[in-house]
């Protein structure tokens, strides 16, 4: 009559073993998910810093020669001095946007070749520990798409005066592929190129219109 008792004890042991195994699996999955999330966050922050430096260096190189307002914008006036038209030099604008996008792309590839440095604490999946411990270099595969466009902004600068500012806007869409997973983010950099105070009433059509049209986009080569 002891057999039923033995069976119950054996079943109980099996149940406990299965429960412990399931608990360990759940804890391992949670640890992996937390560690992956923290690693992505740290790597993305490092890559954002690299992107900012890469884009700023590209802008500095592209605009090493000072660009004046008159180099990009032409203002046509009537006989009484009123503003009739505001046009842009499409050739120069496209060249600057193309060069800035190309240099940004090249800088990103070069600066990210060494990977990113991740503190050892980040691998434990606890955000409070993410900044502690020795730095471990983690290999990444960055995929970037850089787009550049000029932005025109008009602001009232006084009686019958309007300040016209020209900005270069660079958007870098970054995808990071890491052993722990992938991460995507976008970085926006806007730089003032030139500005001028225009005297005279500006037609509403120019205030509302996109003076520069589209932009220039540079994607990574296929394959």
pLDDT in tens, 21-38: 888 887 676 666 666 777
Between the CA atoms of 206, 208, 213 and 216, what dihedral angle is there, to the nearest 10 degrees?
130
Count of CB atoms within 10 A of residue 50's CB?
20
- Would you state the pLDDT for residue 58? 86
Average pLDDT across the chain, whole number = 76
Question: What residues make up the domain containing 76?
Answer: 3-218
Q: Which two tokens stand for residue 101?
A: 């996008």
Better-predicted residue by pLDDT, 123 or 106: 106
% of the chain residues with pLDDT over 70 = 74
- Would you state the pLDDT for residue 86? 82
Better-predicted residue by pLDDT, 213 or 222: 213
Judged against a pLDDT cut of 80, whether residue 101 lies above it is answered with yes
- Would you state the pLDDT for residue 221? 46
| Residue 140 falls inside a structural domain | yes
Rg over CA atoms, the chain: 29
- Would you state the pLDDT for residue 56? 85
| Residue 171 falls inside a structural domain | yes
Strand pairing of 135-138 and 161-178? unpaired
- DSSP assignment, residue 208? H
Strand pairing of 181-199 and 83-88? unpaired
| Residue 223 falls inside a structural domain | no
Which ranges of 63-127 does DSSP label H, i.e. alpha helix? 69-72, 90-111
Lowest-pLDDT range, 57-71, 146-160, 207-221?
207-221
Q: Which two tokens stand for residue 116?
A: 């990113």
Contact 185, 216 (CB under 8 A): no
pLDDT band at 82 (very low <50, low <70, confident <90, very high): confident
pLDDT band at 189 (very low <50, low <70, confident <90, very high): confident
Judged against a pLDDT cut of 80, whether residue 110 lies above it is answered with yes
The total of structural domains in the chain comes to 1
Beta carbons within 8 Å of 222's beta carbon, 6+ residues apart: none
Sign of CA dihedral 72, 76, 82, 85: negative
């Amino acid at each position: 009559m002891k057999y039923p008792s033995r069976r119950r004890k054996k079943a109980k042991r099996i149940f406990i073993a299965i429960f412990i195994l399931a608990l360990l699996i759940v804890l391992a999955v949670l640890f992996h998910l937390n560690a992956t999330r923290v690693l992505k966050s740290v790597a993305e922050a490092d890559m954002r810093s690299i992107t900012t430096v890469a884009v700023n260096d590209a802008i500095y190189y592209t605009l090493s020669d000072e660009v004046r307002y008159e180099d990009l914008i032409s203002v046509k006036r009537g006989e009484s001095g009123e503003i009739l038209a505001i046009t842009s030099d499409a050739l120069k604008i496209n060249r600057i946007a193309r060069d800035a996008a190309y240099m940004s792309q090249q800088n990103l590839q070069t600066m990210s070749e060494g990977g990113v440095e991740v503190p050892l604490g980040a691998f434990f999946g606890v955000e409070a520990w993410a900044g502690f411990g020795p730095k471990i270099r983690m290999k990444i595969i960055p995929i970037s798409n850089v787009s550049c466009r000029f932005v025109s902004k008009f602001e009232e600068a006084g009686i019958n005066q309007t300040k016209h500012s020209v900005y270069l806007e660079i958007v870098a869409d970054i995808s990071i592929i890491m052993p722990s997973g992938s991460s995507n983010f976008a970085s926006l950099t806007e730089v003032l190129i030139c500005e001028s105070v225009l005297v005279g009433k500006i037609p509403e059509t120019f205030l509302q219109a996109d003076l520069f049209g589209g932009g220039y986009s540079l994607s990574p080569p296929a394959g």
